[in-house]
Structure 1
Amino acid sequence: MKYISYQEWIEHGGQVYEVQAKPSGIHTQPFKTFLDEFNWMINTHSKVFLFRFDLRFADDNVCLDNSKPMRILFRRLVQRLGRHYKTKDIAYTWSREQEKAKKQHYHCILMMDGNRIRLAHKLCEKIREIWLQISGGSPYWSEEYHFHRSDLNTQSEAIRHCSYIFKARGKGYKPQYAKDYGHSNLRKKAK
């Protein structure tokens, strides 16, 4: 069972993070996995680029019984971005949402070395192209952040904004083999 917190602050790794927990609560374990990836990026790169976007399917009635589209998307995206920006350090997190009467969709977070990427234009083109091939659907852009590892205010703002995708509402209405969350594993690669 996933633990849900209704607190506006979550402690992890000796730090306290402000989150958007109201009204449905926040799944703490996947949020902490995201924080581990976030902190790995900050500890590895002096600047970090964080981009949040949403994905929808062309057909409103799609309800997949697995997470294959997300595996394909991020495998292709990491390969293409790695070649284009000449980096292997690309972190990501995604969440699947579907409420009883609404269509399935995904919220995504992508993080890269901020010294390699300045603008999201090329990144958006690649995401749009890959998602169209996979689903026929469209991405929706949410927010982008560029920050230095010493810029704690922007980091806090980005973390609070991203905490939205870990909200409890909309999770759990899924087939058995579909996942609610997925993450890269850069933090494990370093160990």
Structure 2
Amino acid sequence: MNIVQSMNKYVYDGLVWDVLPNELDQEKKIMDKLFALKDKCFEHSSRLFALRMDFRLNHYTADNSPITHFHQQLIPALRKKYPKSLISYAWVREQVKSEAQHYHYVLIMNAHHVRYAPPLVDLMSQSWAKATGGTYWLPQNPWYLLGRNDADSQAGFMKRVSYLGKKRSKENTPAGVKCYETALRFPKRITGEIKPEKIAGSWAAGPELQTEESFSSIDKEPLKQSISLPKQLENYGLIPALPGKELSTNNLHLPRSLFWIWHRNAFRQQQKTLGISVEKYISDNRLQQKSATRHLKQRAFSPFWNEHIERYYCFYWPLGAPVKLYCELHGLKFSSARRYLVNFNAHKIKHKKSKQTMGYQL
């Protein structure tokens, strides 16, 4: 019994996972794609909602046009109903004794915006029927709620979805035709232009809201777009000119927390490129030893929160936009985001008259 259990394991990124296919039946390329897709989704959402379904056809097709037509129906419907959620999916093509192929499918979305399975089941089944005329099958306990720090929920889901990674029943796929695919798509960019010339100094350089076309799969890099901010910011005014004076402990023109956010970022960049120590950085920047040591040695934020911190303080905070509005626009949970973002009032900061701007990025 122990020997059988030991063969139903899969090692990914140094961790051992329980899976359904045994070692001889595991297709490594598919298994790696499934695990990578989960990790990529967690980079953009702390909670995920996943749904497993199977799709059947009435007639055989030598290509995967049924899936293509299915997505042409499904993706716009999901965009309309869940405009703030990422859309991620994986499918495999299989054929055993039946005349037509069938597809195993898993859909992953942002659990902050999607919490119930029935609406998704309706959308997916209707889209499949409209696109192909085929039928669907809903397995028992088809949906999962996953947490970024919840190992048990991830383990249960990956064991279930690992079924897609088996070698069996994929041998009949025609040569040159895909037998699997994974993809991750982000919400469309919210429109509402602010011209670059209205943005002071280095604030014009920063992260961008990503379009749906930015990611068609987990292997592609995001495309850089022009500066664009939501229309909801129109009531908050223009980005103010910030003081040209270099940051120092005597600079009272910035909120204290923002001051240390900048220094932590600058220190980590210099530490990575120059190997500079905390003590050397404190000495070079004439910072107070005790406070600076405590702030600079703080644990770094995750890439997910670093991106939101940079975006908020570069584009939203200077406009006076509150954290709560930022959370609504980006689908963040306010109770979590306020641990990383602070509502400073940029327009009440006393700025010195200067034609220069502070050349830094958070």
2:122 matched residue in structure 1: 125
Unmatched tracts of structure 2, length 5 or more: 1-5, 185-216, 223-362
Query: Are 2:183 and 1:184 equivalent residues in the alignment?
Result: yes
Decide whether the 8 Å contact of 2:144 with 2:157 is kept in 1: yes
Partner of residue 35, structure 2: 35
1:10 correspondence with 2:41: no
Structure 1 partner of 2:190: none
What is the CA RMSD across the aligned residues, in angstroms? 2.0
- Per-residue deviation at 1:135? 1.7
Q: Is the 1:24–1:167 Cα contact (8 Å) retained in structure 2?
A: no
8 Å CA contact 1:64, 1:175 repeated in 2: no
Cα separation, 2, equivalents of 1:24 and 1:169:
10
Pairwise CA distance, 1:23: 8.3
Match for residue 110 of structure 1? 107
Q: Would the aligned equivalents of 2:17 and 2:155 in 1 still touch at CA under 8 Å?
A: yes
How far apart, in 2, do the equivalents of 1:141 and 1:29 lie? 26
Deviation at 1:43, TM superposition (A): 2.3
136-145 or 90-99, larger mean C-alpha shift: 136-145
With 129-138 and 157-166 compared, the bigger mean Cα shift is at 129-138
Q: Is 1:91 matched with 2:70?
A: no
Q: 1:10 to 1:23 in 2, by over 3 A?
A: closer
Task: Kindly indicate whether the alpha-carbon contact (under 8 Å) linking 1:67 and 1:177 is maintained by their aligned counterparts in 2.
Answer: no
Q: Name the CA distance, whole Å, in 2 between partners of 1:71 and 1:36.
A: 22
Larger % of strand: which? 1
Amino acid at match of 2:12: H
- Aligned residue for 1:66? 63
* Deviates most, 166-175 or 106-115: 166-175
Shift of residue 151, structure 1, vs aligned partner: 1.3
**Amino acid in structure 2 at the alignment position of 1:137:** G
TM (norm. structure 2) is 0.47
CA shift digits 1:103-154 (9 cap, x unpaired) = 4211001100011111111111111111111221111112100122111101
Deviates more, 1:9-18 or 1:115-124: 9-18
Q: 1:116 to 1:190 in 2, by over 3 A?
A: farther
Question: What SS does structure 2 have at the residue aligned with 1:147?
Answer: strand
The structure whose RCO (Cα within 8 Å, separation 6+) is larger is 1
Q: Where does the alignment leave 5 or more consecutive residues of structure 1 unmatched?
A: 1-5
Equivalent residue of 1:159, what SS? helix
Secondary structure of 1:16's counterpart equals: strand
Larger radius of gyration: 2
Q: TM-score, normalised by structure 1?
A: 0.86
Please give the alpha-carbon distance, in whole angstroms, between the structure 1 residues aligned to 2:72 and 2:13: 29
SS across alignment from 1:121: helix
Give distance in 1, aligned partners of 2:34 and 2:173. 21
C-alpha change, 1:38 and 1:190, in structure 2 (3 Å) is farther
**Correspondence 1:163-182 to 2 at 5 A:** 163-182=162-181
CA distance, structure 2, for counterparts of residue 178 and residue 131 of structure 1: 20
Confirm or deny that 1:81 pairs with 2:78: yes
Q: Percent identity?
A: 24
Distance 1:97 1:74, change over 3 A: same
Correspondence for 1:3:
none
SS of 1:111's partner is strand
Structure 2 partner of 1:158? 157
Matched with 2:270 is none
CA contact (8 A) 2:69 2:132 kept: no
> Are 1:45 and 2:76 counterparts?
no
Instruction: Identify the range of structure 1 (151-160 vs 81-90) with the bigger mean alpha-carbon deviation.
Output: 81-90
Measure how far apart 1:190 and its partner are.
Answer: 5.5
Aligned to 2:134: 137
